[in-house]
Structure 1
Amino acid sequence: MRHALLTAALVLSTAATAAQLQVYPYDGARLLAGQHFDLRIEAEDVKDFKTATVTLDGRTVDGLTRTTTKPTSVEWTLRTQSLTAGSHILTVRYSDGAGDQIKSVRWNAVAPAAAKAKNVILFIGDGMGWNTVNAANLIAHPYNPANGMPTGKLAMMSDLSSMASVNTSSYDSALADSANTASSIATGQKIQVNALNVYPDNTADTLDNPRVETISAMLRRAMGKGVGIVSSAFGVDATPAAFASYTRRRGDYSAIADQYFKGDVQPDVLLIGGSRDFIPSTAPGSRRKDATDWIEGSQKMGYTFVSNRTELNAANATKLFGLFNIDNVPSYLDRAQYKSKEMLGDFTDMPYLWDSAQKAVQTLEKNPNGFFLMVEAGMVDKYEHPLDWQRAVWDVLELDRAVAWAKEYAKTHPDTLVLVTADHAHSLSVYGGYDATKGPGKREAVGVYEAAGFPTYGDKRDANGFPLPETDRTYAVGFAAVPDYCETYLGRRIFLDPTVSNGQTGTAAGYVPNPKICAEGSVQRTGNLPPTSNQGVHTADPLPLFAFGAGAENFSGMMDQTDIFFGVAKALGLDATKSK
């Protein structure tokens, strides 16, 4: 009898369950005064909907568009809204067959500040956590073997105006990916994993989600500044896309490519890899499903198009579009040192990141209102995932050369702010020395404590003055988050994935160590990730931020990643309530 009563009570409780209300922007959101956003209210598990009223600071919100995505939901949307400076409360009073309820969210809109900078150059090392920066510094500036003293610092670490350590997270997870983290820098909001500058919604369409305006769009709209995007990754990858596009799915590659030229930013400079998303479906290597050709289309819009380093360095334009590979631009080691056909294919004249950064600034500075430039070393992350630390770290060295140039530019243009940070970290760590003369995969060649000695990087250098990875004494570098793989401790001239498919299907499908790597001489390492993982993953580790020049004081101490957005806006004196 007691069981029957309990069952009846549960049925009654379920029948009376209130609708689930969601409001975006989310409770606690911080925006800039005047920053555009889409208001979205969703009621799920609706039972005989009756009425709903929405007020902002006590006043009724008019103009909401009501929809019914499914029989058990009701939604309200109001696009392109903004707030005046100060605190605000939005309240939803809702009623349906299950009863009445009230949901309130609180927002804060930050007032504009007096400008200190006219220009911003933002460098993002994708996946470049503190330990990755440290590894690059150890290689670029080895310790003096006579006394153990450092022989120098990376440009990004030298003569700092200010510095910070940055924490990162997602709207829906403590861990993060490049899409939501770059979006946090671009908008000041917490964003879902795999989303770009949008809040969640309950529709299947990934391009209709409620949007929040990016720093690049606001600087264009309110101040008339030039905008540039540079990346060594394929051009519609998450980090560059975060500064010019809006979508719930970072894999909407064609739509992202279209938004570069049709969206609210339309950057003056776009220098990237990955032509496959900008060429028509009939062109070899295209990933598109339509006839859109942005190489031709961009030129009709006034862009000068360049496809290699020679053309880039010779360009003299006010609008510049460059595509330097069919996909990602290969690592610095592949372009500058190894130069193998297997890695480069037919792309033998690709620019260095410092070439692209310098040309971008030279193009953007023609705008009398100043500029915002984002430069991404995208391949750091691309090589940390497959545990190829040499390629990743040498790409940090390439980034650092671009930073060195930007710092010199800022000295002669003191109204310029230079920032260097990352979107997220990887689990890379330098834990010992390695005697490379003993060959690959020898645990006995790993030296720890005093046995680590002093690695001999820099005994041989390339044409750009960078050390070669091949030297008698190297570092032992590993990752904490890994699949099963074979560790050789040394790099290789032809890239190999650390794992291959186990050949199984269904629930038995997974990955095993790449036998080609294991055959080189190796130690098999047991992973700590699920067997379905084929590479390393991002971590929740903090990130570096180095600041130079005008407005650098806005970046110090422990920061959340969203604070970077507000620091940039404050340095530039961005008043998003205006439209130029």
Structure 2
Amino acid sequence: MTPSSRLCLTAALLLSGAASAATFQVYPYNGAKLLAGQKFDLRIEAEGVRGFKDATVMLDGKALTGLTRTTTKADSVEWTLRDQSINAGNHELIVNFTDGNGAATKKVSWTAAPSVAGKARNVILFIGDGMGWNTVNAAQLIAHPYNPENGMRTGKLEMMSDLSSLASVTTSSFDSALADSANTASSIATGQKILVNALNVYPDNTEDTLDNPRVETITEVIRRTTGKSIGIVSDAFGTDATPAAFSAHTRRRGDYSAIADQYFKGNVKPDVLLIGGSRDFIPSTAPGSRRKDTTDWITDSQKLGYNFVSTRTELMAANSNKLFGLFNIDSIPSYLDRAQYKGKETLQDFTDMPYLWDQTRKAIDTLDKNPDGFFLMVESGMIDKYEHPLDWQRGVWNVIELDKAVAYAKEYAKAHPDTLVLVTADHAHSLSVYGGYDATQGPGKREAVGVYQDAGFPTYGDRRDVNGLPLPETARTYAVGFAALPDYCETYLGREVFLDPTVSNGKTGAEAGYVPNPKICAEGSVQRTGNLPPSSNQGVHTADPLPLFVFGAGAENFSGMMDQTDLFFSIARAMGVDATKNK
């Protein structure tokens, strides 16, 4: 290690000699658990530094070399060492630092999990965005109503049936007990606690959101170490947080164009990419684009060997080893909008969009061509996007749509017993089924809510659509509410045209906020007083635990109470991933 880099590294890690006024951050953070061989960027930052005198950095008693020194601020020094890895076992990083304020020492401990032999050649990971236990339960109650003759269950969701294992998963972010989709999906992808709104990176003190220290994702490890194929599927817009977490690195999940580029230029380069919206994949000159340049990934992806599809018809006819699909300018609308309501205002010109089970089936069929196996992530992203505006019907019917995709994956796993199927969520919402509702009395009748014996048995399933899913319009429905909400008007019933629950109050500055949407209030409603700040216009994520339903090979790696970061390591064990090797 050169004297210059030694000096820099010491400044970046002080904390034990209270004489120094500098503050220090080190990443990976203290207590981080990694997979042996998993790549990460070492980052050490010192701020408030007054004149370096000496510095040394030691990893397991040996001096580190090759660090790059930078100075972001007048009183800061940083060191970065990219693409590092550690062997299995416990490790200690020690930085001894001296500046004008005196000497200090900082110690950081890491653990690396060893590779093990695995049973699963293929992994299919389903993520229901916002699909906490209560959301799953609501879908179960509607898809398989109780028998009114005896109160017994008439069936179960596929995701809840014939389980090999079951777990409950807790969530948190690096900087908060509450989490968002970016950091939670990143925790599954990397095994690390990540900041809210960040994708697979640690913090740093620069303004550039794309230069943060990175940590390798499960998809990157698989791509680097095996010959397996990678697939990413979502009904959300293409660069949304959850699909991006399995292919991109950025401090800001809103770096949409950069995320789109990383799908094709990054380390993952998925073989199958079937996602919702095209805004970030088309040039700035195209209607609806939000890019600032002329990049056209629809054209350029085909030059890279992808078969591009944009409709359900094209998707089902496709027969290739690399498949790229975009099916809307934005996210794919809800199942109810596509299959039942079919409103022109919602669907616009996109009248041939696939169901999530179509995307899943085609992805599996395409990836199955690889004899080495595959990893596939399938997200039902629109569950969350309808729970936020308290539209529980659209959100719950998307869970039922997801369940049909799970059914196909389970059938595939039965025919391919070396396949592991996982169904979980990234975070929860505060949805809860608390009563029945007599819909014959119309919308917004508080007296029509029944509890206990007065709830009766809802009549979902008395009418079904062409796909066999129940219609939301029936004589007796459920009364469903949210614990985290703004002021809004409750009608208890759904509507064919989506409406936001709140609108701007028209004020500016400190008085700006939101009020109940008068269009909803006019339908007949009960006005509810929210418990979120007036600046909130929709519901928020909760810290509630999540379900994890497990089927097939390697299921023994998933059980009990698990932290979300544990899923990364359990998937690696189930697949027998050896991150210390390159293919």
TM-score tier after normalising by the smaller chain length: over 0.9
Contact map agreement 1:230 1:270 (CA 8 A) in 2: yes
- The aligned residue for residue 370 of structure 2 is 367
- The aligned residue for residue 238 of structure 1 is 241
SS at match of 1:336: helix
SS at match of 2:235: strand
User: Given the alignment, which residue of 422, 436, 440 partners 1:437?
Assistant: 440
Contact map agreement 2:19 2:103 (CA 8 A) in 1: no
1:179 aligns with 2:161: no
Q: Deviations over 1:351-389 (max 9, x none)?
A: 000000010011111112110000000000000000000
Contact map agreement 2:237 2:332 (CA 8 A) in 1: yes
SS at match of 1:66: strand
Contact map agreement 1:230 1:357 (CA 8 A) in 2: yes
Matches of 2:312 and 2:117, distance apart in 1: 39
1:141-540 correspondence runs (5 A): 141-540=144-543
Contact map agreement 2:20 2:103 (CA 8 A) in 1: no
- The alpha carbon displacement at 1:16 in A equals 5.4
1:59-74 correspondence runs (5 A): 59-74=62-77
2:87 partner letter? T
SS at match of 1:198: coil
Matches of 1:368 and 1:82, distance apart in 2: 29
TM-score when scaled to structure 1? 0.97
SS at match of 1:84: coil
Matches of 1:354 and 1:154, distance apart in 2: 15
- The aligned residue for residue 96 of structure 2 is 93
- The alpha carbon displacement at 1:485 in A equals 0.3
Matches of 2:367 and 2:33, distance apart in 1: 30
Q: 5+ unaligned residues in a row in structure 1: which ranges?
A: 1-14
Q: Deviations over 1:227-246 (max 9, x none)?
A: 00000000100000000000
SS at match of 1:101: strand
Q: 5+ unaligned residues in a row in structure 2: which ranges?
A: 1-17
SS at match of 1:277: coil
Contact map agreement 2:231 2:376 (CA 8 A) in 1: yes
Runs of 4+, deviation exceeding 4 Å: none
Matches of 1:47 and 1:549, distance apart in 2: 58
SS at match of 1:257: helix
- The aligned residue for residue 109 of structure 1 is 112
1:552 aligns with 2:552: no
Q: Which moved more, 1:296-305 or 1:51-60?
A: 51-60
Matches of 1:165 and 1:536, distance apart in 2: 23
Q: Deviations over 1:92-140 (max 9, x none)?
A: 1111111111111111111001010000000000000000000000000
Matches of 2:580 and 2:283, distance apart in 1: 39
SS at match of 1:310: helix
SS at match of 2:279: helix
Percentage of pairs with the same residue: 80
Matches of 1:33 and 1:209, distance apart in 2: 22
Contact map agreement 1:192 1:199 (CA 8 A) in 2: yes
SS at match of 2:527: strand
Matches of 2:493 and 2:229, distance apart in 1: 43
User: Given the alignment, which residue of 17, 20, 25 partners 1:22?
Assistant: 25
- The alpha carbon displacement at 1:463 in A equals 0.1
Matches of 1:508 and 1:72, distance apart in 2: 39
1:117-132 correspondence runs (5 A): 117-132=120-135
Matches of 1:53 and 1:362, distance apart in 2: 54
- The alpha carbon displacement at 1:17 in A equals 4.7
2:97 partner letter? Y
Matches of 1:37 and 1:144, distance apart in 2: 54
- The aligned residue for residue 58 of structure 1 is 61
2:50 partner letter? K
Matches of 2:568 and 2:521, distance apart in 1: 45
- The alpha carbon displacement at 1:202 in A equals 0.2
SS at match of 1:132: helix
Q: Deviations over 1:3-22 (max 9, x none)?
A: xxxxxxxxxxxx95531111
- The aligned residue for residue 76 of structure 1 is 79
- The alpha carbon displacement at 1:52 in A equals 1.7
- The alpha carbon displacement at 1:225 in A equals 1.0
Q: Deviations over 1:522-550 (max 9, x none)?
A: 00000000000000000000000000000
Aligned length: 566
Contact map agreement 1:231 1:375 (CA 8 A) in 2: yes
- The alpha carbon displacement at 1:72 in A equals 1.2
Contact map agreement 2:19 2:104 (CA 8 A) in 1: no
SS at match of 1:105: strand
Matches of 2:32 and 2:439, distance apart in 1: 52
Q: Deviations over 1:295-348 (max 9, x none)?
A: 000000000000000000000000000000000000000000000001101000
Matches of 1:78 and 1:472, distance apart in 2: 64
Contact map agreement 1:216 1:243 (CA 8 A) in 2: yes
1:320 partner letter? L
SS at match of 1:381: helix
SS at match of 1:53: strand
Matches of 1:285 and 1:530, distance apart in 2: 33
Q: Deviations over 1:269-302 (max 9, x none)?
A: 0000110100000000000000000000000000
- The aligned residue for residue 7 of structure 1 is none
- The aligned residue for residue 40 of structure 2 is 37
Contact map agreement 2:171 2:179 (CA 8 A) in 1: yes
- The aligned residue for residue 9 of structure 2 is none
Contact map agreement 2:20 2:104 (CA 8 A) in 1: no
Matches of 1:459 and 1:421, distance apart in 2: 29
Matches of 2:298 and 2:382, distance apart in 1: 24
2:404 partner letter? R
Contact map agreement 2:279 2:329 (CA 8 A) in 1: yes
Contact map agreement 1:18 1:99 (CA 8 A) in 2: no
Contact map agreement 1:306 1:312 (CA 8 A) in 2: yes
SS at match of 2:236: strand
- The alpha carbon displacement at 1:50 in A equals 2.1
Matches of 1:404 and 1:203, distance apart in 2: 46
Matches of 2:478 and 2:213, distance apart in 1: 47
1:106 partner letter? S
Matches of 1:339 and 1:234, distance apart in 2: 20
- The alpha carbon displacement at 1:45 in A equals 1.1
Matches of 1:115 and 1:106, distance apart in 2: 28
- The alpha carbon displacement at 1:570 in A equals 0.2
Structure 1 residues 17 and 508, CA, compared in 2 at 3 Å: closer, same or farther?
farther
Matches of 1:225 and 1:348, distance apart in 2: 34
1:398 partner letter? E
Matches of 1:532 and 1:17, distance apart in 2: 41
CA RMSD of aligned residues (A): 0.7
Q: Deviations over 1:49-78 (max 9, x none)?
A: 222211100000000001110011110000
SS at match of 1:50: strand
Q: Which moved more, 1:476-485 or 1:361-370?
A: 361-370
SS at match of 2:79: strand
